[in-house]
Amino acid sequence: MLRFTTAGESHGPALVSILEGMPAGVPLLAAHVDTDLARRQQGYGRGRRMQIETDRIEFLSGVRAGETLGSPISMLIRNSDWKNWLEIMDPAPREGDADGPRKRQVTRVRPGHADLTGLLKYDRTDARDILERASARETTARVASGAVCRVLLRELGIQVGSHLVHLGGVDAARPAVMPGDINAASDASPLRTLDPAAEAEMITRIDAAKKEGNTLGGICEVVVTGLPVGLGSHVSWDRRLDGRLGQAMLSIPAVKGVEIGLGFETARRTGAEVHDEIEAAPGNTRMGHVRRKTNRAGGTEGGMTTGEELVIRVAMKPISTLMRPLGTVDVATGQAASAVAERSDVTAVPAMGVIAEAMAAYVLADALLEKFGGDSLGELRRNVDAYLARLDERVG
């Protein structure tokens, strides 16, 4: 239904994002996308690269007079840093290439990054040939396509937000009542967390890690409201929505764990403490006049949305480049060495939350179009409305 791909190296001229399958007639401005790109650039603990870049898109296709056309939407994001890397990243052969490696060759491969495995797999001698694409710079292009998906979801009353719940050993408390607009609240925090006391402790830990030349990871929670019941399906493994969300989240660089609802905690509890009882709820037209008393499942059952809030937690490992480098092998000599210590982030968990939102928005927009179809926003809306009207007719 909907698919997207990205292209671009971290220090190359630009990134490209191509999204195919978006219906026609969706109101779309560059500003809608740029807002999310700016949100992805936020976060205490990031390195100097984020001060160099001001990410903005240029539409190359698929949009006219502020509306989508139904054709592939392609977006270009220029790298401001490119001018400093021309000599190193020039796609054309340069004088001197025959005499040896280009400047900034990386052979002291970093544990935890793609350097070593990529070098061996692709038979390269300079890990820059790998790290330029393995770099999470690529996620800028993901956020661009995700932002377009977010606009579609918003047209149908579906909101995707996120907040940081853990960083470097410090838990943030989830507020008793979640704010109506999660992102308005989380974006106001330098760590995108809703717990100011935890935030202060997290900042102290980031400062300490930076001083030690170390790095930190953490966890973000994505919350989606307004979903209709029945996106995804129980009938085949690859149509289960929880599976599709898991794949999308685990594809984010450095993400190592995903939970939906209680997640791993379900394994430690009894059935009575896990499953959400169902009760009659006359007037709840969107869910067939029933609802769940609790939402421990986090919004999916049987690989389908239940119509409750979708709650996904995403865990990110610490950044792989340490300024006090870990031990490695120099692949040019085979000798023991300290890993390369390039300019780098201390932590990027707040940015990862925005990327996770984008991936969730893509998976959900795809599942929405799979269920309801529609070549135009109007057609999609009519199909959704007909389904909701049928749910209203039912009594559970």
Name the residues that contact ligand EPS, by CB under 6 A.
Answer: 10, 47, 49, 135-137, 140, 253, 342-345
* The two three-digit tokens of residue 276, written as one number: 């959400």
Choices 140-148, 251-259, 274-282, 306-314 (CB under 6 A): range interacting with ligand FMN: 251-259
Chosen residue from 74, 140, 320, 328 binding ligand FMN by CB under 6 A: 320
Name which of 162 and 306 has its Cβ closer to ligand EPS: 162
Q: Which does 352 bind (CB under 5 to 8 A by kind): ligand FMN, ligand EPS, none?
A: ligand FMN
Q: Which does 137 bind (CB under 5 to 8 A by kind): ligand FMN, ligand EPS, none?
A: ligand EPS
Q: Is 40 annotated as a binding residue?
A: yes
Residue 348 interacts with ligand FMN (CB under 6 A)? yes
Q: Is 134 annotated as a binding residue?
A: yes
Q: How far is the CB of 314 from ligand EPS (least distance, A)?
A: 16
Q: Which does 10 bind (CB under 5 to 8 A by kind): ligand EPS, ligand FMN, none?
A: ligand EPS
Residue 281 CB neighbour total at 10 angstroms: 15
Q: Which does 165 bind (CB under 5 to 8 A by kind): ligand EPS, ligand FMN, none?
A: none
Q: Is 189 annotated as a binding residue?
A: no
Q: Is 135 annotated as a binding residue?
A: yes
Residue 340 interacts with ligand FMN (CB under 6 A)? no
Residue 252 interacts with ligand FMN (CB under 6 A)? yes
Q: Is 232 annotated as a binding residue?
A: no
Q: How far is the CB of 180 from ligand FMN (least distance, A)?
A: 27
Q: Which does 114 bind (CB under 5 to 8 A by kind): ligand EPS, ligand FMN, none?
A: ligand FMN
Residue 345 interacts with ligand FMN (CB under 6 A)? yes
Q: Is 343 annotated as a binding residue?
A: yes
List residues near ligand FMN by CB under 6 A: 47, 112-114, 134-136, 139, 252-254, 319-321, 344-345, 348, 351-352, 355
Binding residues for NADP(+): 40, 46
